[in-house]
Structure 1
Amino acid sequence: MKSEANLIPAQFSGPQRIVCLTEETTEWLYLLGEEARIAGISGFTVRPRRARDEKSRVSAFTSAKIDKILALEPDLVLGFSDMQADIAAQLIRAGVPVMVFNQRSVAQIFDMLAQVAAMVGAAERGQTLLLQYRERLALMDQAVQAQMAQGRRRPRVYFEEWDEPPISGIRWVSELVRIAGGDDCFPELAAEPLGKQRIIADPLEVVRRAPDIIIGSWCGKKFRPEKVAARPGWQDVPAVRHAQLFEIKSPDILQPGPAALTDGAEQLHRIVMQWMDAHG
């Protein structure tokens, strides 16, 4: 008879065959040096680029190839958002362990990354990286405070996630705009978790809020500043009048993980600092 003691693992090893239904957990596991644990990824993954060549693509965002996921024999599936609840339910019924995060703020992004690092036994490495991210964000804030000490003001920023209909930025984007030195034109909408709740019913409301900077990140579709500038009534918007329309690619800012805290935040910061320098 096998001893019950033999059924107890000698040490924590964590999940060995992880399926990531969104990009941020894939990128994070690569940054942790734990990419060997990844068995499958989202088809939308572009960070890191090599993941597309190395891993099986098994999902979109709101849909997934359940049979293909099950064939990978995952011991953990990582997802994001209530929009993946149906995928999660199918996998749970098939007996697969599933963890779906719902991070919407900068603080929640940090918490999610710390939890994933702990799950794979890389808590120390994770904390080192997260400290670096915090320090980079703190340096941005210090640069903003230095500008304001010289009498400069924060620019008003309109961040657009989608154009038809116009949808303003989600909470972590709004918070990163603030850290980068700007003021979100629609802070009340940023608190809404769903895109349909952040639709700007009257596009002229953007005109009334007079953004100094417009940033587009159209969820994988190329941002067209000339189309934005040509919207009826928008010709007198300060951002349009002074050609302050910019694109930040959605993988850099709209995935709530390492990219948003690093490349996304830094692009926001550069845009805002350039505006402050020009309006001293």
Structure 2
Amino acid sequence: MTRENRRGALASLVRTLAVALVLLLPAPAVLADRAPIAPAPSAAGVLGATTYPLSLVDDDGRAVTIAKEPRRIVSAAPSTTEIVFAVGLGDRVVGVTDFCDYPEAAQSLPKIGGFKPNLEAIIGAQPDVVLAVRGFPAEIIANLEVMKIPVVILNPVDFTGVLANVERVGDIGNAHDAANTLVTSLRQRWDAVEAKAKGAAGRPRVLFEIDASYPGSIMAAGPGTFIDAMLKAVGADNAVAPVAGGMQYPSVSDEAVLGLAPEMVILGDAPYGQSVEALAARPGWDVVPAVRDGRVVTLSQREVDVTSRPGPRIVDGLEAVAQVVRPELFGPSDTSR
């Protein structure tokens, strides 16, 4: 696999599946875990009601019709699995991907494959609907449509889109009350962080590193990503924005990083051998303000997941970023962790 192909795969992983960026090595600064979001009660008996057949336009612009209330759901991405469980439809899930690890109940469900979904496994699950993300193979969609199995693509581009997807899954599964309650809670939590961050002094330049496996450059989260939105929400500037060139996950040379002078670096690439020590040992990086001032922060697997999966835990990700970037407002200082 070429360098550019590998980096493209990594970017896709972070935006959708988010299964590889995990911290395995000890580090001086790790965020405190939040309590997990409790799944909503069963959708049975909710006051809202969907009228079937339900016609909708998914996030890929496809017209989809769902003939009846789904009792068997295949979820083809971790983010969609989290949404389904969070609105109380977990007992209807009959298939998930190899990467669907949250909530815990999803781990024991039948698997439909990983990056390459298994058509036979999906058909064998006898789903009433398949929920997937952008990149789900077109040939599998075509085969399922021939068999009258609807596929709904969920691909939010921002936090508002995540909330819309929660509502959409509520519509699909006739779980309006649970979905609306969850959306209200998530919106209130996001707004609370933004409001609190307005009282912070200054706007630190923060670099969120995705990959540094190739000498001389890194890949970072750029404008238009959920991470970028989180940085803005906590009153920080994305350090790589000036050199991103419109790319969501730009490749940035070490020389450019030195010029950008980030005041904080958040490492999301520890599973690839990166650590605070490794970063500090990169040629020239010792003069980067974040390194010089001891403001290089590492993330755990859970923290990487919640800052990258476009599902209900995305607000956990915001709160985690707020704790790192604004410890004086949201949590203890790095040195006390």
Which bracket does the TM-score occupy, shorter chain normalised?
0.7 to 0.9
Point out the more displaced range, 237-246 or 267-276: 267-276
* Structure 1 vs Structure 2 CA RMSD: 2.6
> Residues 63 and 87 of structure 1 are in contact (CA less than 8 Å); yes or no, is this contact kept in structure 2?
no
Q: Secondary structure at the match of 2:71?
A: coil
1:93 Cα deviation from its structure 2 partner: 4.8
Note closer, same or farther for the CA distance 1:118–1:222 as it changes in structure 2 (3 Å cut): farther
Letter in 2 for 1:157: V
1:85 Cα deviation from its structure 2 partner: 4.1
Deviations along 1:178-199, one digit per CA (max 9) or x if unpaired, are 1123211233649546xxxx23
Matches within 5 A, 1:154-165: 154-165=203-214
| Normalised TM-score (structure 2) | 0.69
Matched with 1:46 is 101
Matched with 1:5 is none
> Residues 96 and 111 of structure 2 are in contact (CA less than 8 Å); yes or no, is this contact kept in structure 1?
yes
Which is bigger in relative contact order (C-alpha 8 A, separation at least 6)? 2
Separation in 1 of the partners of 2:282 and 2:274?
14
Separation in 1 of the partners of 2:80 and 2:232?
25
Note closer, same or farther for the CA distance 1:131–1:89 as it changes in structure 2 (3 Å cut): same
Separation in 1 of the partners of 2:112 and 2:122?
6
Letter in 1 for 2:284: G
Q: Give unpaired runs (5+ residues) of structure 1.
A: 1-9
Matched with 1:113 is 166
Q: Secondary structure at the match of 1:69?
A: helix
| Normalised TM-score (structure 1) | 0.82
Q: How many residue pairs align between the two structures? A: 258
> Residues 213 and 272 of structure 2 are in contact (CA less than 8 Å); yes or no, is this contact kept in structure 1?
no
Note closer, same or farther for the CA distance 1:89–1:192 as it changes in structure 2 (3 Å cut): farther
Deviations along 1:14-51, one digit per CA (max 9) or x if unpaired, are 21111111111111221111101111111112211221
Aligned with 2:313 (options 259, 262, 266): 259
Matched with 1:37 is 92
> Residues 23 and 47 of structure 1 are in contact (CA less than 8 Å); yes or no, is this contact kept in structure 2?
yes
Instruction: Identify, as 1 or 2, the structure richer in helix.
Output: 1
Separation in 2 of the partners of 1:102 and 1:167?
22
1:246 Cα deviation from its structure 2 partner: 1.8
Matched with 2:250 is 199
Matched with 2:63 is none
Matches within 5 A, 1:86-235: 87-147=140-200, 152-165=201-214, 166-169=218-221, 171-187=225-241, 189=244, 192=247, 198-218=249-269, 224-235=275-286
Q: Give unpaired runs (5+ residues) of structure 2.
A: 1-49, 53-67
